[in-house]
Chain A
Amino acid sequence: MKTILLVEDEPTLQKTLSLALAQEGYDVKSALDGEIGLRLAKETKPDIILLDLILPKMDGFEVLDELKKDEALKDVPVIVLTNLESTPDIERALALGATNYLVKANYDLKDVIEKVKDNIK
């Protein structure tokens, strides 16, 4: 079973997305802030990471930076899932090594799952 790490601080989005992913047969680990997200990534070595950008304690950019510095995690695909849509934010996330950049409100759950399937190894 493939493992997905979902780092999302909004309870509604976290509940709906993790349930939809679980229905698709993935093992979903959830983190509600950046620090826990990074720790869970190191502990569970997920197959893919879905990362929000505005997060308490440690924001998504910092988490992404740390992930890419970690030898064991740098090849894990990271899909940034956010509602920030400014060009500098997108460029920064992609420069840090994000595989994909999705604006949450613009996608249905099935589209998000489709992206996950495309990127999972």
Chain B
Amino acid sequence: MEARVWFDKLNLFKECRDYNLSIWQCPSFVFFILGIVNIVAMVGTYLIANRFTDQPEFTALIVIGVSLFIFVISHSVTEGFDKLAQANKMKTEFVSIASHQLRTPLAGMRWSLNLLKDGKCSQADNATFVNLIQESTDRMIRLVSDLLDVSRIEMGRTTFIPRQTNLYVLTQKIVNNSSLYAQANNIVLRLEASETLPNVFTDPDKISLVIQNLIDNAIKYTKGQGEVKIALAEEGKSVKTTIQDTGVGIPKNQQKHIFQKFFRSDNIMKHQTIGTGLGLFIAKAVVEQSNGKIWFESEEGKGTTFYFTLPIYK
């Protein structure tokens, strides 16, 4: 795998094709050309320096100086090129995935409205279609606000206002609000925390969304009956939050992609659940903005446990 990545780097034309650029705009081709320019400059400098001095050490010093200068400049130019090309590619992918994600609820609304307008369906069916339209609208609204969050994260323009936060009170509120939803899914929600838990330093509004998202996921991906355990505990200089479910788990080969935007695990519940694939990407960004860490352990069929840490308020 490693060797292949290197081989791909050597293949100048492949990169141009990937970025959809002409050869003269390709970062690695430009670097290659600048390399040749550097060699020519070295030879030139050597010949010129030789005419003005008899000392070989001095000639060597001048050649090294000039080539180093050209190398540093060419490296930063190519780096800049590469960043722009990558940003452009990401933007294109982003637009194409986002529009695909928006189209699905749009098609759902369109077809439900078609059936309602036809008026050939039973009263019960019509009520179902109204619900489907409602669901699709909710999904689109959620998707649009998530997309805005993601673009703010990527531009580095999130409004993140960290302050002293009582994580226990905040988590308890979310657990209480989610208990009805959990009950409806035959799931017991349990919160374990000591009352002497120190306050943490984070943006309470943002971290609430993260905890809500993790609990929702835990409930959503637990099939039939089960338990979702939320634990808060002091650990060193931070407070660790643990959200453990007894759900379907994340397949091993997909675990490394879980925090990527738009990624949704291909597990057995995918077709029964709705998700934008943005929740965990946002969660990771929020936790990292608070100088915390987020990670998980998961086994297919047994369940998933998410952990995140937040620094204690000093």
Give A residues with C-beta under 8 Å from B.
9-13, 15-17, 19-20, 23, 32-33, 56-57, 83-86, 103-105, 108-110
Contact = CB atoms under 8 A, between A and B. Distances in A.
Contacts of A11: 271-272
A16 B100 contact: no
B107 A83 contact: yes
A103 B102 CA distance: 13
A5 B52 CA distance: 85
Contacts of A109: 111, 114-115
B129 A16 contact: yes
B270 A13 contact: no
A85 B112 CA distance: 22
A15 B120 CA distance: 15
25 contacts: A10-B108, A12-B108, A12-B136, A13-B107, A13-B108, A16-B108, A16-B111, A16-B112, A16-B114, A16-B129, A19-B121, A20-B115, A56-B266, A56-B271, A57-B266, A83-B104, A85-B100, A103-B103, A104-B104, A104-B107, A105-B106, A105-B110, A108-B114, A109-B115, A110-B114
Given A23-B120, A32-B271, A13 B114 contact: no
Contacts, number: 66
A17 B132 CA distance: 13
Contact of A105 (B107, B271, B272): B107
B128 interface: yes
A98 B135 CA distance: 31
B53 interface: no
From B106, B111, B129, B272, name the one whose CB has the most chain A CB atoms within 10 angstroms: B111
B117 to A, nearest CB: 10
From A17, A33, A56, A108, name the one whose CB has the most chain B CB atoms within 10 angstroms: A56
Contact of A19 (B96, B125, B270): B125
Interface in B235-282: 266, 268, 270-272
Given A103-B103, A105-B106, A13 B111 contact: yes
B107 A19 contact: no
Contacts of B106: 105
B273 to A, nearest CB: 10
Nearest to B97: A84
Contact of B100 (A17, A56, A83, A110): A83
Interface string B114-156: 1100001100010011001001100000000000000000000
Contacts of B96: 86
